[in-house]
Structure 1
Amino acid sequence: MSSNDDSPTLQHHSAEPGFPSASSKNSEIDTVDALLRTIFRLNWKDWVLIATIVLCLSLHYISITHNCSPLVVDIIKIITVLISAFFIFRKISNAYKSKESIISFFKIHPIQLFVSIIACGATVAFFLPLILNIFKLIGDTDKLTTALLALTGGIIAVFTLIKTHQKNQNDEMSLQLDREKYEQQKEDRSKDIEMQNSQMQEQKRQFNKKIKQEAYRSHQERTRQIHAERRSRYTKAAEQLAHENASIRLGGVFTLFGLADEWIADESLEPQKRQKEGQTIINYLCAYIRSVPAKQTEASFKTGSYPQDEAEIRQTIFMEMSSRFIENKKKVDKKSHITQKSWNNFIFNFNNSHIFYPLNDLVFFNADFQGAKFYRDADLSDSRFYQETQFTKSKFFSCYPFKGTEFYGNTYFNKSQFNPPGGFTQKIGEVFEKLSSSGPVNQHDNHPTEGYTFFRSVFYEVASFQKAHFYTNESISQSSFNKDVDFQESIFDGTRAFIETSFSEKPNFKGTLFAYLIPDIFNNSISQDGKKLNNGIATLLQDNKMFLSRKELPVGARLFDPNSWNSTDKKYDRVSHPAL
């Protein structure tokens, strides 16, 4: 079991304290006997020291029994103690070199180690004092025995503390491992839950996306069917408008209005698309207004011999349009934008229409009546016109077309004719042929028409009457112009042109012609500053330079003789100089 060197033959390196894996590395040391042989194995030096100690003990005993000198006895004691201390130191050193084996054995077999320590301690405590007493090194052995037993108990207590510490370390490490394991499990669980939530969210998102796609496809299909059904109804309504039966035509009118309302209110379409679809239907209705009823001529319109049911149908179209406008009776700005779902922003093209039915007390937006002809039953009194209104080159054969009419946007009557002569006479063909020429007709055989054109009408924006021709007795009566008004190169044939008319801005009468027979052109008419509009004098001379008439006129206006019409040159030969 011994070797020739001072180190133990078998050295097994165990793991750190607290880790039971050391048992696998020191599997040969599994009994107390094997542990003691490993720790306390003796070589020749140890045996020499043991022999020396035994010799010293024998010498001490002999010296005591032979009563040798005390000095000799003490020297022997000292030598014995020193050699014993050196021997013990060597064994402790060898034991320390085998500490890993001891710790490993202690971790694996703590009970065996404790029993071995108690047995060895008790044996040493009993025999060592006895031996020392036999060799006369000590006298009374009780104290030494007590000390050795106490030392044994101390060693056991130290090992107990070590074991308790190891247990606490193991418990703490186990707790830490359990905590780490729990935290890891918790983290893994959180990740699993997060992954499950993410998967659920993705599934939900995909499901919602699928639902939305299906809903969108369903909506698109339904919208397509609705639009197709509307177009089918539109085609049928268009066919109805061409039917001979008036009631069927009227039904087609109401169907078209209903379709237009549906297009305008359709939220599935962009505003531009809704506007386009609605405008298409309005264009068709306006085209119907522009069309000439079957078997009707210019003469029948002027004499009033037209079918009453057709007049009612066309009047219904205007009434239905009027009911769909959102009216603002206050002053309307040209640049204002109306966002309501109404018909205000559509364009209404009634160019060259034949209006032979009353249109009074209605609302109009963006109305374009250029070149239209208004016959005797065409009454526009008490109606309201918004946005830009066009009556350029229109002809009014009615005696009272504009009574209490209000215009909230720019209005244009350029080159229009108001109550031209012969409008309701039997000489229609001859007179109308003259009216349709490029210039006014000769008034020599035609007196001004009875009635008035504008009575108590209000113009809130710009009004233009350039080159218009007024044939009525009273052209403009008790009306007001709140913005610029232009009568440039207009012609007034009546006996009274303006009666109690007010102008907020200075009107333009440059080149305007007034018949010299008019007794009072501006009867109580005032401008913005409250002054009369008689701003200059115009003198009309006959061909022989003799005086014919002299009147007060606005600056730039002129007098003319209605009997001086030159049909060759298409102008009046007797015209005064502009009023100054």
Structure 2
Amino acid sequence: MSLPPKPAQGKNPRAKTVALAITLITITAILWIIYFVTGSEWHTPSIHWLPLAILVTISSLVIFYLRITWTISKKPSSFNLWIYGVTIIGGSIAFLFPLVIADYIGKDSEGAALRQMIIYATGGLLGAITLSETRRKNDLERSKFDKQNDQFTEQLNAQKENLKTELDAQKENLKTELEAQKENLKTQLDAQKENLKAELDAQKENLKTQLDSQLDSQKEQINSQNEKDIRDHIRQVHAERRSRYTKAVEQLADDKAAVRLGGIYTLVGLVDEWLADENIKETDVRHKEGQVIINNLCAYIQSPFKLAAKAKELEADTVPATYDKEQFIADQAELHEEQNVRRTIFDEMSKRSSTIEDNNAKVFTPIPGAWSNFDFNFSRAPIFYPLNNLTIEKGTFTSAKFYGNADFAEVIFTEKADFSGAGFTQEASFKDATFAQEASFKDATFTHNADFEGATFTKEASFKDATFTQNVFFNGAIFTQNVYFLGTTFTQDAYFVETTFAQDTYFLDATFTLIADFTKAIFAQKVYSSRVVFPKQAYFVEATFTQDVYFVGATFSQNASFNGASFIQKAGFGGTTFAQEAFFFGATFTQNADFNGATFTQNADFNGATFTQNADFSITTFTQDADFKWATFTQNADFSGATFSQKVNFGDVLFENYVPTFVSGNLRTRFSVHSTQEDYNSSVRSGSMLIPPGEAELDGVKRQIPVGTVIFDPDSWDEGKWEYTRVSEPAKPIENSDTEEEKPAE
């Protein structure tokens, strides 16, 4: 019996192994299931399933193990696998198979004989396998001998071929050597010919090089002389410029305005010459030379002028009583001349400043001008001349003082405009001015009217701690970024009519001495007005608050009008004091409205107001009439803890979804005992949630008020206890009032 070698692995040996495993497991499982399902034995026919299941289980494990070993081993021994498999399976059959068919054999010696026969058969099979393996080894030895014999024959044939090849190679070598000698001779002749030609070309090239060298040397001498002449010319030009610069600076101090004006034009021209000088390769050097001249021009603007403080008087059409006529005419002419000279400097700067592209969306794109990279400093300068209709690159006017009217109308500030600490002694106009970058008026003082109507602030604007002594106008102005009026003082009227605040607005700690008019103003982001004091009328008529607005702790000393105002987000009036009448007629509160702890000293008018979300009037004090007629409350309306000292009008009010809250914990709404029953109007609109009717009594005075609320005497306030001492019991529902009154009589 010949044992087969390990066959080549198929494309998917793992799949075959899995299939074999499933088959073996299935057969084994069936036998065990039969065994367990039938109890212990199944006698029809008489077969013992337990030993049969054990026999199949052992055989399956052995077959699966041999399969795995055969599959994963690189050089498996088929002989050993056969020996192991036959031995284990045969032994298992010899031991267990007689038990399987025990009912078919006799009980004496037939079982032992069967086992002996199986063992003999197994031994015979093992012997056959052993003989087969011996035959295979003998065949392998014979094959090796035949292979060695074949190799020896091949070696003899190879030596014969090698000898023949060597003879042929020697013959070819001799032939190649003869050809090479012939080729070498030819190469030597060609090389000698090329050498002769190269020597002739080299001599020709050397001669040409000598001639070119002589020519280049002459050219270098000429170029060197030219460069020297150019350098000398440049030095002369630069020296001449500096000489002109020195003379122009001297002209600025001349008594004659025409001479000073000529000096200015000279300096301006010199700046342009330095910037356009292509002989100076370094841009920084050109810029540095120009900056020196710019500094001189700025220094002239900063220099004092003796008549600056009299600018207002000298601009008058008639001679002031304190002035001599001839002296007035002379001073007026001198003032006008100097105004023209200094204005000319700004005119020339404006011509060379950046230009602004407007995409009609108030987004300004600067296009740099010739002088855009220079620094301009006008700090502490006396300004007594108009600067309207200009483009100012870098408006640094910190601590500058403006005599006469300060006119910046329609000016474009392309860079930051800084007027921090500036003093405006007369009227200041920034009407229709454009601030393309930040604008700062921090600590600035405006002694007379300040006009910012139609001005556009594209970046942040700060008026922190600024003082407006007279009226200030921001009507139609546009603030694209945040604007700060922190601690600002408005001594006279402040007008912000139709002003647009696109980002956050800060009025924290600002002071409005007279009228504050924000009619139709638009607040697109949050408004911070906490602790602001409005001593006079404050108008927010038809104003629009798109984001949260905070008037927490603010004080309105005179009438405050929010008629028709729109509060798109939260409206915070907690703790606000309205010392005079407060008007919210037709106002719209889209989100929560917070009047918690607010005080209305005079009449409060919420007639026709709309509260879309929660309205909080808890702990609010209404000293005079409170009018909510035709108001609409879509969500909860909380009046718990509120105090009504005079009339209360809920006539035609619509409480859409919730009954209004008048009692919350210990907080109960209070109604004055001094008011008549007619002063309480709770006749809500048809379709509204009803105000729960109740009745309370104080000192024999009965009033129908909301259930759970109380009547109080406004004259019973105790400062020590910080409370009213004369307060009724909570109002009882009207339908139970008769019953409650009869009990004491019984």
* Bin of the TM-score, shorter chain as denominator length: 0.5 to 0.7
Deviations 1:485-538 (A, max 9, x none): 2111111123233121101111122222222x31x4312111226527864265
In the alignment, does 2:198 pair up with 1:187? yes
Deviation at 1:299, TM superposition (A): 3.8
Output the CA distance in 2 between the equivalents of 1:353 and 1:245.
21
Output the CA distance in 1 between the equivalents of 2:219 and 2:401.
62
1:514 pairs with 512, 515, 518, which one? 512
Query: What is the aligned partner in structure 1 of residue 347 from structure 2?
Result: 319
Output the CA distance in 1 between the equivalents of 2:363 and 2:423.
26
2:551 pairs with 536, 553, 560, which one? 536
Letter in 2 for 1:383: V
Deviation at 1:398, TM superposition (A): 4.1
Seen in structure 2, the aligned counterparts of structure 1 residues 548 and 361 have a Cα distance that, compared at 3 Å, is closer
2:519 pairs with 520, 523, 533, which one? 523
Query: What is the aligned partner in structure 1 of residue 443 from structure 2?
Result: 415
CA contact (8 A) 1:373 1:395 kept: yes
Seen in structure 2, the aligned counterparts of structure 1 residues 381 and 199 have a Cα distance that, compared at 3 Å, is same
Deviation at 1:323, TM superposition (A): 0.8
Letter in 2 for 1:470: F
CA contact (8 A) 1:260 1:277 kept: yes
Output the CA distance in 2 between the equivalents of 1:509 and 1:397.
25
Query: What is the aligned partner in structure 1 of residue 434 from structure 2?
Result: 406
In the alignment, does 2:406 pair up with 1:389? no
Letter in 2 for 1:252: G
Letter in 1 for 2:194: E
Pairing of 1:484-523 with structure 2 (within 5 A) = 484-515=482-513, 517-518=514-515, 520-523=516-519
CA contact (8 A) 1:514 1:559 kept: no
Deviations 1:349-390 (A, max 9, x none): 111112111111100111211111223343110110011221
In the alignment, does 2:278 pair up with 1:273? no
Output the CA distance in 1 between the equivalents of 2:214 and 2:576.
88
Output the CA distance in 1 between the equivalents of 2:265 and 2:341.
10
Pairing of 1:175-324 with structure 2 (within 5 A) = 182-199=193-210, 202-203=213-214, 206-207=217-218, 209-269=220-280, 270-293=282-305, 295-296=306-307, 298-300=309-311, 304=315, 306=332, 307-324=335-352
Output the CA distance in 1 between the equivalents of 2:260 and 2:576.
51
Deviation at 1:190, TM superposition (A): 2.2
Pairing of 1:538-557 with structure 2 (within 5 A) = 538=553, 540=555
CA contact (8 A) 2:554 2:575 kept: no
Letter in 1 for 2:300: Y
Seen in structure 2, the aligned counterparts of structure 1 residues 334 and 497 have a Cα distance that, compared at 3 Å, is closer
Output the CA distance in 2 between the equivalents of 1:233 and 1:390.
33
Give the unaligned 5+ runs of structure 2: 1-183, 316-330, 526-543, 563-570, 580-597, 599-619, 621-746
Deviation at 1:400, TM superposition (A): 4.7
Output the CA distance in 2 between the equivalents of 1:231 and 1:560.
69
In the alignment, does 2:398 pair up with 1:370? yes
Pairing of 1:52-71 with structure 2 (within 5 A) = none
Letter in 2 for 1:230: R
Deviations 1:143-179 (A, max 9, x none): xxxxxxxxxxxxxxxxxxxxxxxxxxxxxx9999986
CA contact (8 A) 1:237 1:256 kept: yes
CA contact (8 A) 2:441 2:463 kept: yes
Going by fraction, where is strand more abundant, 1 or 2? 2
Output the CA distance in 2 between the equivalents of 1:210 and 1:557.
92
Output the CA distance in 2 between the equivalents of 1:256 and 1:560.
61
Query: What TM-score, normalized to structure 2?
Result: 0.43
Output the CA distance in 2 between the equivalents of 1:560 and 1:200.
104
Letter in 2 for 1:395: G
Deviation at 1:284, TM superposition (A): 0.7
Seen in structure 2, the aligned counterparts of structure 1 residues 189 and 297 have a Cα distance that, compared at 3 Å, is same
**Aligned partner of residue 228 in structure 1, secondary structure:** helix
**Aligned partner of residue 545 in structure 2, secondary structure:** coil
CA contact (8 A) 2:406 2:427 kept: no
Seen in structure 2, the aligned counterparts of structure 1 residues 249 and 392 have a Cα distance that, compared at 3 Å, is same
Deviation at 1:415, TM superposition (A): 0.5
CA contact (8 A) 1:334 1:387 kept: no
Output the CA distance in 1 between the equivalents of 2:421 and 2:474.
18
Output the CA distance in 2 between the equivalents of 1:490 and 1:415.
9
Query: What is the aligned partner in structure 2 of residue 437 from structure 1?
Result: none
Pairing of 1:429-468 with structure 2 (within 5 A) = 449=449, 452-468=450-466
Query: What is the aligned partner in structure 2 of residue 482 from structure 1?
Result: 480
Query: What is the aligned partner in structure 2 of residue 359 from structure 1?
Result: 387
Deviations 1:450-478 (A, max 9, x none): xx420100011121111111233233111
Output the CA distance in 2 between the equivalents of 1:402 and 1:202.
72
Output the CA distance in 2 between the equivalents of 1:186 and 1:299.
99
**Aligned partner of residue 329 in structure 1, secondary structure:** strand
CA contact (8 A) 2:356 2:366 kept: no
CA contact (8 A) 2:560 2:578 kept: no
Deviations 1:378-436 (A, max 9, x none): 31101100112211111223435111100101111100112x15xxxxxxxxxxxxxxx
Deviation at 1:303, TM superposition (A): 5.3
CA contact (8 A) 1:409 1:461 kept: yes
Give the unaligned 5+ runs of structure 1: 1-172, 422-448, 542-546, 562-576
Output the CA distance in 1 between the equivalents of 2:255 and 2:425.
29
Deviations 1:20-69 (A, max 9, x none): xxxxxxxxxxxxxxxxxxxxxxxxxxxxxxxxxxxxxxxxxxxxxxxxxx
**Aligned partner of residue 301 in structure 2, secondary structure:** helix
Seen in structure 2, the aligned counterparts of structure 1 residues 260 and 176 have a Cα distance that, compared at 3 Å, is closer
CA contact (8 A) 2:343 2:387 kept: yes
Letter in 2 for 1:363: T
Deviation at 1:205, TM superposition (A): 5.2
Seen in structure 2, the aligned counterparts of structure 1 residues 505 and 177 have a Cα distance that, compared at 3 Å, is closer
Provide the alpha-carbon RMSD of the alignment.
4.0
Higher CA-based Rg: 1
Pairing of 1:158-173 with structure 2 (within 5 A) = none
CA contact (8 A) 2:353 2:393 kept: yes
Matched length: 355
Structure number with greater CO (CA < 8 Å, separation at least 6) is 1
Output the CA distance in 2 between the equivalents of 1:386 and 1:317.
17
Letter in 1 for 2:404: R
Output the CA distance in 2 between the equivalents of 1:254 and 1:559.
61
Deviation at 1:302, TM superposition (A): 5.9
Output the CA distance in 1 between the equivalents of 2:294 and 2:553.
50
CA contact (8 A) 1:302 1:375 kept: no
CA contact (8 A) 2:355 2:366 kept: no
Output the CA distance in 1 between the equivalents of 2:272 and 2:224.
29
